[in-house]
Amino acid sequence: MTRSIDWGMSPGMGDVMHALNCAHFWSKENKEHLILNLHWEHGIDYLHHCEETETIIERCDYINSLYLKSDVTINHITNSKLGKFTGDSRYDWMDVRRRRLCNTWVFDPRVKLPTDENKVVMWRATFNANIPRYWKRAVTNEQWNLTVEALTELGYNVVELCYRTPIREATYHINTCNFVFCYDGMWHYIAANFHKPMFVTTLDKITQYHTPTALDLQTQTFVKYLYNLHTPIDKGNELIKPIDWAHRRAKNKKEHWWKWYNGN
Looking at per-residue confidence, does 128 or 40 come out higher? Answer: 40
Torsion of CA 8, 9, 10, 14, to 10 degrees: 120
Identity of the amino acid at 115: T
Distance from C-alpha of 23 to C-alpha of 1, rounded to nearest angstrom? 15
* Partners of residue 72 on adjacent β-strands: 34
What average pLDDT does the segment 62-78 reach? 96
Predicted local confidence at residue 96, as pLDDT: 57
**Residues 127-183: tens digit of each pLDDT:** 655 555 545 556 677 888 888 888 999 999 999 998 889 999 999 999 999 999 988
What average pLDDT does the segment 114-122 reach? 97
Give me Rg for the CA atoms of the chain: 18
CA distances to 26, 37, 71, 243 from 100, rounded to whole Å, are 13, 23, 21, 25
Quick check: 39 pLDDT over 90? Answer: yes
* Percent of the chain at pLDDT exceeding 90: 48
Q: Which of 93, 87, 98, 109 is nearest to 22 (CA)?
A: 93
Half-sphere exposure (Cβ direction) of 107: Cα atoms closer than 13 Å: 23
What average pLDDT does the segment 182-204 reach? 85
Looking at per-residue confidence, does 144 or 19 come out higher? Answer: 19
Task: Name the CATH topology of 112-261.
Answer: Rossmann fold (3.40.50)
Distance from C-alpha of 38 to C-alpha of 87, rounded to nearest angstrom? 10
CA distances to 3, 44, 102, 136, 137 from 60, rounded to whole Å, are 21, 12, 19, 23, 26
